[in-house]
Each structure stands twice: as structure tokens, then as C-alpha cells.
Amino acid sequence: MRDVLPWREPVPLDGTMGEPRARGRFGEYGGRYAPESLVEACREVDEAFREAWADPGFRGALARLLAVHAGRPTPLTPARRLSEALGVQLYLKREDLTHTGSHKINNVLGQALLATRMGRRRLIAETGAGQHGVATATAAALLGLEATVFMGERDIERQALNVFRMRMLGAEVVPVTAGSRTLKDATSEAMRHWVGATGDSHYCIGSVVGPDPYPWMVREFQRIIGDEARGQCAAELRTGVPDYVVACVGGGSNAAGTFAGFADTPARLVGVEAEGGAGAARGRLGVMHGCRSLFLQDDDGQITQAHSIAAGLDYPGVGPEHAHLRDLGRARYVTVTDDEAVGAAVRLARTEGIVPALESAHALAWVIRAASGGDLPAGSTVLMTLSGRGDKDVSTLKELL
């Protein structure tokens, strides 16, 4: 299948990726579809976040945590050998080099600091493969909070190492036995649990999904990726701004954070989804986990199970802002198969000495396909967010290679 590129018309620049409209609306998406008690809890998070985000003291404390604990700023690495082979200039934003090995730490440190400011003593989180759970357990330990992580029973069996890591960090891991016993059910269960614990606990969502203000707040905590990359591109690239900005999309947080840094530039934004989890490319309008967005559904409107070799892309929907960016034509969403992602991971390992997370390898697989097929014009400059490192995927890869 051919992608809808090359992209000839100018990109619309106005009004995108600012604050959502009233009640957390991005166009017709977003909102706060939750039981009464959670609507009130979300309102409190919204108020606290607005206040904190306008407070230089909070911003400074978070910037310091990101620097001394998480290892920011992360470098921008030119992928020299791969660029030469592809005929484009590819730059990698290295979120794989953060503490805990992915961009998830940016969001989690922000929310943990906010929880402390709100006087909460515990973080509640959902996790699929365990990456967000490990990041949450890490932030909780750092700030002296408790952590309760909901995880599907099937994922607990598949991800024993991350379960051990969370427990080692002092978190309680709660098995979820409902439904398909994976991420979707763990999220529902975490939200249900929060209903009875809003007084002393903060629900720390792992992506730009869920009820308002989460999609907006998580994007703001992740915009450090895009803001840093924007400055690094200005210093490093002859043109100052890359022609294309590419990131993988599960719920969409690393992509949203990256795109936010380039929304007011002519850069073309490309979100890369897993073929079996393509909420933005193939989803239909629905409501799940407190939010109106695009979800994979069957003919009866039941939300279906996603399938991807990359656990972080195994989500049947996409954040509401991505749905809106798609409708506006500001960003485009393309899909990549498991095999293409595995091939891209091997190629990056052998040309640049970097083993990427399989999620990030999806973004690279699209760059490789588009550069080879002529959809990326020769000589284009491409910024790609490398969302995480591949250590967690070596056993999966070992089975295949």
C-alpha cells in the first residue's frame, strides 16, 4: 500500500497543539466521560496542573529532576551510515538514553511531582508490558510515594522481569483477571480503583489518553522532547527545521510531545502505528477510558483487541489530539507491519550501533520504506524520535532471528 505522501500542499499552522478548548476538546474528540466522582477528581487534577504549569517553581523543580535523575537533555544523533544508504539526512532524538530507557519517565516525573504538590501519598497506574509501571514505580520511590500498578494477568506471565523490577522498586503489582487480561482491562480496573481512592491517590496515566486533562497534561510533560529537539535542530541542521518529523504512536505520547515542538513550523508530521493497532489510521469514533476518540471496533461497535509485536503499540485506540491532527491534515498516520519493524531494528543495530525498542523501530521502518519508495524525496531532512531502547525486546527478537 502506498502512503499519502509526498505531501505537496502547505501544512496548516494556526491554532494546532495549543490548549484544548473547553472541557478538554480537540475538535470533536477528547472530553471527560467518567463517573461523577472521577469527573470531580479530574477537575482537581486539571486545576492543580494549570496552577503548577504556570508556576516557575514547579517548572524549575521538574527540570532539575529531569536533569539530575533522568539524564536530560538527551542528544540528537545523526544516523550517518543509515542516512547515506537511504539518501536522506536522518537525525535521532535519543529518548532511549533516559533513565529507565524510554520517554515514559518524562511524564511520570511530572505527574509524581504534581501528586506531591496535591498532597497525595500514592500513585495508581496501569501497565501493559510493564514499561509505564516501572517508570511509575521509579518516580514513586524517588519522591517517597507509594505505587499501586494494575497489570493484566496475561501480561504478568509474559513480562516477569518488569514485574520483578516494579516489586524491587517497592511497588504493589495487582493482577487483573477481567476480559482479555491485558492493558485495556488493566486501565479500566485502575480507573475503577481510583473511584474509591481519589482522596489520597493520584491516577498516573501513561499516555495522551483518558479523560481531560490527561491528554493535554501528558502532552505538556512530553513536549520536552520536541522543545529540546527544536533547539538541537536549529543548531545542527542547515535548514534549521527538519522537512519531516516522525514518531511511533501507541496512545501517542512520544509523538505528541515531539510534534508539539514543531507544530508552528512547516515540518510535515508523521505518526507511525502498528498494522494491528492503527487507531488513528483505521479507527472509528467511540468512547473508552473516559475519552472520545478513534478506536478499533467490530461491526457492533465493540472495541477490539489490538495486536503488535511491540507491547507499547498494542492499544486499540489513539489519543484525541492525534485524531484531531489527522482530521486537520496537520499530521499523517501510516502503518508498519511486525516484520518491517523487526527488519528496521536489525538495520539500526548494524548501521548505527543502537538496538531500538520495537516501538521505535516502527517509526524507523516507515522512514526506510518511504525513502526507498520515493515518498521521502532524496535529500530530505528527517527528525525521528527513538522512543526507547531495545533491551526489553531481546527475548522477542531472539525467538525470531
Ligand X SMILES: *Cc1c(COP(=O)(O)O)cnc(C)c1O
Catalytic site positions: 104, 126, 387
Give the integer Cα–Cα distance in Å for 145 and 45: 17
The single residue among 20, 213, 226, 252 that binds ligand X, judged by CB under 6 A, is 252
Residue 142: count other Cβ atoms within 10 Å of its Cβ.
17
Give the integer Cα–Cα distance in Å for 230 and 240: 8
Please tell me whether residue 184 adopts helix, strand or coil conformation: helix
**Count of residues near ligand X by CB under 6 A:** 17
Contacts for 339-345 with beta carbons within 8 Å, 24 or more apart? Answer: 340/365, 340/368, 340/369, 341/274, 341/309, 341/310, 341/365, 342/309, 342/397, 342/400, 342/401, 343/368, 344/368, 345/390, 345/393, 345/397
Query: What residues from 320 to 359 belong to the interface with ligand X (CB under 6 A)?
Result: 357, 359
95: cell is 529518548
Query: What's the closest the beta carbon of residue 248 comes to ligand X, in angstroms?
Result: 5
- Residue from 86, 401, 54, 400 nearest 244 by CA: 86
Which of these ranges, 56-64, 186-194, 242-250, 345-353, lies near ligand X under the rule CB under 6 A?
A: 242-250
Q: With respect to ligand X, which residue has the nearer C-beta, 83 or 100?
A: 100
Rg value, the chain, Cα: 19
Q: Is 253 in the site for ligand X (CB under 6 A)?
A: yes
The single residue among 98, 232, 387, 396 that binds ligand X, judged by CB under 6 A, is 387
Query: What's the closest the beta carbon of residue 131 comes to ligand X, in angstroms?
Result: 4
| Inter-residue contact 204 to 236 (CB < 8 Å) | no
Cα–Cα distances in angstroms (integers) from residue 287 to residues 11, 29, 208, 290, in the given order: 29, 9, 15, 7
The single residue among 226, 250, 277, 290 that binds ligand X, judged by CB under 6 A, is 250
Q: Tell me the three-class secondary structure of 88-99, residue by residue.
A: CEEEEEEHHHCC
- Residue from 89, 53, 176 nearest 383 by CA: 89
Q: Is 130 in the site for ligand X (CB under 6 A)?
A: no
Q: With respect to ligand X, which residue has the nearer C-beta, 271 or 286?
A: 271
Instruction: Give the contact letters, 88-127, x = binds to ligand X (CB under 6 A), - = no.
Output: --------------x-x-----------------------
Query: What's the closest the beta carbon of residue 210 comes to ligand X, in angstroms?
Result: 11
- Residue from 364, 393, 376, 399 nearest 91 by CA: 364
Query: What's the closest the beta carbon of residue 253 comes to ligand X, in angstroms?
Result: 3
Query: What's the closest the beta carbon of residue 7 comes to ligand X, in angstroms?
Result: 22
Give the integer Cα–Cα distance in Å for 272 and 280: 9
Q: Is 363 in the site for ligand X (CB under 6 A)?
A: no
Q: Tell me the three-class secondary structure of 23-60, residue by residue.
A: HHEECCEECCCCCHHHHHHHHHHHHHHHHHHCCHHHHH
Q: Is 360 in the site for ligand X (CB under 6 A)?
A: yes
Query: What's the closest the beta carbon of residue 388 comes to ligand X, in angstroms?
Result: 2
Q: Is 312 in the site for ligand X (CB under 6 A)?
A: yes
Query: What's the closest the beta carbon of residue 3 comes to ligand X, in angstroms?
Result: 19
Q: Is 131 in the site for ligand X (CB under 6 A)?
A: yes
Query: What's the closest the beta carbon of residue 271 comes to ligand X, in angstroms?
Result: 9
| Inter-residue contact 91 to 233 (CB < 8 Å) | yes
Please tell me whether residue 147 adopts helix, strand or coil conformation: strand
Cα–Cα distances in angstroms (integers) from residue 276 to residues 250, 318, 366, in the given order: 11, 13, 15
The single residue among 370, 388, 393, 396 that binds ligand X, judged by CB under 6 A, is 388
The single residue among 163, 217, 248, 306 that binds ligand X, judged by CB under 6 A, is 248
Q: With respect to ligand X, which residue has the nearer C-beta, 89 or 278?
A: 278
| Inter-residue contact 114 to 183 (CB < 8 Å) | no
Which of these ranges, 14-22, 73-81, 168-176, 252-260, lies near ligand X under the rule CB under 6 A?
A: 252-260
Query: What residues from 197 to 216 belong to the interface with ligand X (CB under 6 A)?
Result: 207
Q: With respect to ligand X, which residue has the nearer C-beta, 140 or 205?
A: 205
Q: Is 162 in the site for ligand X (CB under 6 A)?
A: no
Strands 89-94 and 76-78: antiparallel
The single residue among 24, 30, 130, 251 that binds ligand X, judged by CB under 6 A, is 251
Q: With respect to ligand X, which residue has the nearer C-beta, 103 or 202?
A: 103
Contact residues toward ligand X (CB under 6 A) are: 102, 104, 131, 207, 248-254, 312, 357, 359-360, 387-388
